[in-house]
Structures are given as structure tokens and as C-alpha cells.
Amino acid sequence: MLCSPGCCADKAGQEDKVESKAALDNAVSVEQDEMVPMQSPDVDPPKDDIFGSTVVPEKNPEGEDLIGDWQTKKGKYSVNRDKSGQLIFKEDRSPELILVGILKKDGDCMQAEIKDKLKEGTTYGHLRMKREGDNIRSFFRFTEDEPWDDVGYIASRQ
């Protein structure tokens, strides 16, 4: 690998040679006093997450098929991702209550501790949901020590 014209190796009449792939991966290009990291052509560019790491995002993240607006006999709710990628359940029954929770994978279901946004610090209950064909079946319980509802509610996409 040749240095750019006028560099120290050129002035000394020498050529720089890359001895290893590691040296190539750490190489920099100097252009008008600005150092710019160079990528080896056979290395995929990093996939940055919110911390700047090189973790490759999932192609089909858990719960992606739950995202949208849903209707049950009890009312309407939505499932969306927040800015950090968390799956968020929200059921707005204002002015009485606004139910929210972060859905996380639990076996073949997604589950959340549900809180009332209008009453900070209180847990309203616990929600479990999973897809059944084009619908979602959801189960609810008020406390962790009581059993899940046997039948649940069927929600259809709005």
C-alpha cells in the first residue's frame, strides 16, 4: 500500500506494505489534515444500535406482527415501538385511565406489567397476548399471584 504523495514514507523513498488484515482494518486515510477511518472492502459496515455497537438488528423482531390498532369487546388498544425499539401496549380510556406497558417475550406470548399513566407508581395488572391467525388473543390478571383468565379476549385489527 502506497502512502499519499508527500508523506513520510514517500520522502524516505520507501513504500508501506500492509502485513496483515488487522493492519488494514485499522488503517486511516489522511485527507487535508483530517483522519478518516477506512473500511476493508470485504468487511460489512457496522450496524449501529443506540449505543453504537455493531450488533446486527433482528430481521423480524419479536412482536412485530402485533404492531397496529386493535379492537376487542372491551375497547381499543394499540401496540407500537418506542424510539428505543421497545414494544409498547397502550389503551387510552381517558379521562379515567390510560393503560400502558412494555411487552416482552415470555414463551409463545408477549407479556407486560400494565400501569395506569394517570396514577404514577401503581400497577393496574398484567397482560399476556399472542397472535391467533389474523387476530390477537389477550389474557389479563390484576395480580401476579392469580391465574390468567382462561378464555381471554379476541382482538381484530382496525
Higher pLDDT, 101 or 25: 101
Summarised one tens digit per residue, pLDDT across range 114-135 is 999 999 888 999 999 999 999 9
For residue 103, pLDDT beyond 80: yes
Statement: the pTM of the whole predicted model exceeds 0.85: no
32-61: average pLDDT: 53
pLDDT at 147: 94
**Do residues 29 and 42 lie in contact, with contact meaning Cβ atoms separated by under 8 Å?**
no
- pLDDT-derived band of residue 156, with 50, 70 and 90 as boundaries? very high
Q: At 31, list the grid cell.
A: 485527507
Amino acid residing at 118: L
Rounded to whole angstroms, how far apart are CA atoms 68 and 81? Answer: 10
Q: What's the CA angle centered on 156, arms 151 and 158, to 5 degrees? A: 150
Rounded average pLDDT over 149-155: 92
| Residue 55 DSSP label | P
| pLDDT range class, residue 154, cuts 50, 70, 90 | very high
DSSP-assigned beta bridge partners for residue 127:
112, 140
Least confident of 40-49, 56-65, 97-106: 40-49
What pLDDT does 58 receive?
52
Return the pLDDT at 50: 52
Q: Looking at residue 5, what is its pLDDT? A: 57
- Residue 45: its pLDDT value, please? 47
The pairing of strands 87-93 and 76-81 is antiparallel
Which CA distances in Å does 58 have to 21, 25, 49, 61? 28, 26, 11, 5
C-alpha cell, 15: 513504500
3-state SS, residue 138:
strand
Helix (H) or strand (E) holding 58: none
User: Residues 77, 68: contact at Cβ < 8 Å?
Assistant: no
d(CA 15, CA 12): 9
- pLDDT digits over 1-20, tens only? 455 555 554 445 444 454 55
